[in-house]
Structure 1
């Protein structure tokens, strides 16, 4: 990948067909081809797009007690989650291959009886290039998602640049970010469920800190999208009509907004990434290079699989 290369990237702000894996996979494939038809070479879909980020649901858990309804909801979520590798990754891989794009997509991955919040990477030949499991789910996410070790702190060297990233509030973890910067990430993927205005400051900070392009991608979800037969559905009565307003964005290595932020609707954002801007930005700040002080600070990552 030359420093004069220009890459067209797309972030897709969309809702899944909530708690319906097969229909969401079908929608994801349609969106991949739509973004590809707009010239995108790299596409990002949101955190836990398949089968849903289960916003607003308690899974019937309080300290010291779990409800039967909550167990039923977990079972439904597990049944609609994704084996990696498996039939869903095969379908996504074929869509990526025919669209001839790189893809990052957030899923809920199932492994034995456990679930993980996972980011998958696909290459334009349809191969699954790698995955990252969220190392620290936030707050009530810990009821449903396990935390992983450092073995999936993934960065993928590709023909269009080194692609890697973190999921949602992992991006608040300075050492996790440093792990990505140390791997030479040039296009930083940040699928999220955070739609606050303040999240935009985090995305711009990462771009400036890492001197990388940042693709932030969120869902747009309304309460009416939830299936009425979902265990615990009555809990949603107290939720706002718009449960996630989005905020997807594409940012340059100098912290400039290239596209977005997009709020209050579904849509596809695209931007041309001039890869030469990464080196221009690192002229005066390279956090893993000349701006590092290894004589003072020591940094290590345990990437062993536990």
Structure 2
């Protein structure tokens, strides 16, 4: 049955970095809190499980790496997850118990080949407990490229729900015009934008995407302090002189004409909640439909390779 409204929750929080169980515990507690408030769909930040290692260098300089940095990265790898795997099974049980969609930023291990590569991913879990899809970040940003591999076009995922089509891109992927177009062309109604960017310019980005795509934009960031970092990390000294607040947040929900439904939340942990009227998505496309009547395929065309790219193909 199609629903004209959906209640969406955005969790602005962090677990203890590199601590998989801490992340799983927070996913459970924050999901229960949001579901008790009527949420149909709950969104967690970029790589919430097992955390975004802001400020850490992993001992990397151009031309060299340190043994301590490799050990920290191994610890990060060990706290990452397989999709599907034990953690997604547990998240599925939680989603089924609560009757909600859970959309969570995770660090995903490559489980097909060497198992030595990690991906910055979004996992989509349905209220029946199943993994409905995932998206791997296409281009990790800056120093992130040493931590995570590049996704391919096979995970430009959009899922069908009773209240519309849901999908998204991660952080600075949202600055890639062609990636956004590939998402719009799948009829996206609720656009998920988990991020680690707390700058004022990010707010301009999500409002532009909402206005351009004529969709709701659900942006989810972290509120992170140094207290969320294990003090026994070899690389802890990288952040010792930083301010206590490492990420001030800025999670927000924007409507399909670019206006805030929920204004940005800064400098505190919290759960943002809003009931979205999906009829406004249709109304907003009356005068502008970026991949419909406002496109010019006789002039501009986008080619998307949505095939999975494998280094080894067995025939």
Same fold (TM over 0.5): yes
1:78-157 correspondence runs (5 A): 78-111=77-110, 112-157=115-160
Corresponding residue SS for 1:250? strand
Q: CA deviation at 1:272?
A: 1.1
Q: Distance in 2 between matches of 1:235 and 1:268?
A: 30
Q: CA deviation at 1:238?
A: 2.4
Gaps of 5+ in 2: 310-315
Instruction: Tell whether 2:166 aligns with 1:163.
Output: yes
Residue 298 (structure 2) aligns with? 295
Q: Distance in 2 between matches of 1:258 and 1:289?
A: 25
Q: Distance in 1 between matches of 2:21 and 2:244?
A: 25
Residue 35 (structure 2) aligns with? 36
RMSD: 0.9
Instruction: Tell whether 2:75 aligns with 1:65.
Output: no
1:5-24 correspondence runs (5 A): 5-24=4-23
Q: CA deviation at 1:274?
A: 0.4
Structure 1 residue ranges, 4+ long, deviating more than 2 angstroms after superposition: none
Q: CA deviation at 1:260?
A: 2.4
Q: CA deviation at 1:16?
A: 1.3
1:113-138 alpha-carbon deviations (Å, 9 max, x no partner): 11000000011111100000000000
The aligned length equals 305
Identify which range, 175-184 or 217-226, moves more after superposition: 217-226
1:154-303 correspondence runs (5 A): 154-303=157-306
Q: TM-score, normalised to structure 2's length?
A: 0.95
Corresponding residue SS for 2:200? coil
Residue 312 (structure 2) aligns with? none
Q: Distance in 2 between matches of 1:214 and 1:269?
A: 13
Q: Distance in 1 between matches of 2:288 and 2:308?
A: 33
1:221-257 alpha-carbon deviations (Å, 9 max, x no partner): 0012211001211111122110000000001001110
Corresponding residue SS for 1:120? strand
Corresponding residue SS for 2:234? coil
Q: Distance in 2 between matches of 1:191 and 1:143?
A: 20
CA contact (8 A) 1:260 1:269 kept: no
Q: TM-score, normalised to structure 1's length?
A: 0.98
